[in-house]
Structure 1
């Protein structure tokens, strides 16, 4: 990656950035808090069966742009926050979970429940941006270490991690 200076921007070519992995899931850091005061940007591969679970942040704003594949996505306050299947939630205005395909953009303001899951048999890829940095960078690094530790995910470790990074989990994270 090219160093950022006051007179030059940052160029991150395809295939570049710092990648952290856990099994079939990986996150490539494209722009970090070291580069931008406004946001962190990532390329995320979402494996089949992965469900981040519905959650909410009090301080973070997030943007998702689907590049490849399909994801079920939620970005609204439901009539009822049921603790199990967010895919069945509905908002007071009638919004429901959508099947996001390439080119879909979802913007999530602070305080808005949101989630994504890959219900297909193929990996999906998305561009993800979080503001302010660097909390999501640290969160991804620590979460992927937990998920890569072998065996089923350590739910207590994930719960503690999310509490430290302004994530109120509404439904469980699921992996295959």
Structure 2
């Protein structure tokens, strides 16, 4: 049995309007955990969501992200930005070296509020659920036609992504 060495800058890249995802370690490599390097552009908000079966780990490599991983006292459907837990926990602005672990059934979200791209290492268990999800969502958004929200919702359900607040991408306007 052999391991896998993935040099910097290598891996299969998926580039969408909103993100650049580099597949680093996948189920096809024999791993039970998928590992991705993700560039999060300014203005990107993944929206709060849960996974009933998956667990995730995020590690900020560059830049700054706002991170959330808790059950709020009240879930709102429009935005997670003001959520607070029963013990007063709120979203955290997290810079380089910060991490977030998300067990199954935990609402979580991230967004880039800064003017600079952020880069994170993202791990998801079990493989290959998020690998297939990223491939399919990239295909949907790059098709060049109107995106059917019902089709996206069905796809998310297949991959254990249960959206609570909307995914948003509002790049800063160029001045």
| Common fold: TM-score over 0.5 | yes
- What is the CA-CA distance between 1:117 and the residue it aligns to? 0.8
Taking the aligned partners of 1:17 and 1:60, their CA distance within structure 2 comes to 23
SS of the aligned residue for 1:34 comes to helix
Matched, 1:90 2:71: no
Structure 2 match to 1:122? 116
Would the aligned equivalents of 1:40 and 1:131 in 2 still touch at CA under 8 Å? yes
Please state if 1:158 is matched with 2:167.
no
Mapped contact 2:66–2:113 kept (Cα < 8 A): yes
Is 2:49 aligned against 1:51?
A: no
Please, which runs of 5 or more residues in structure 1 have no aligned partner? Answer: 1-5
What is the CA–CA distance in structure 2 between the aligned matches of 1:57 and 1:24, rounded to whole Å? 21
Corresponding position: 1:173 with 2:167:
yes
Is the CA contact 2:25–2:31 (under 8 Å) kept in the aligned structure 1?
Answer: no
Q: RMSD of the TM alignment (CA)?
A: 1.4
Shift of 1:147: 2.6
Q: Which runs of 5+ in 2 are unaligned?
A: 171-175
Does 2:26 correspond to 1:32? yes
Distance in 2 (CA, whole Å) between partners of 1:119 and 1:109 is: 25
Q: How many residues align?
A: 170
Q: TM-score, normalised by structure 1?
A: 0.91
Give the TM-score, by structure 2 length: 0.92
Name the CA distance, whole Å, in 1 between partners of 2:118 and 2:149: 24
How much has 1:102 moved relative to structure 2? 0.6
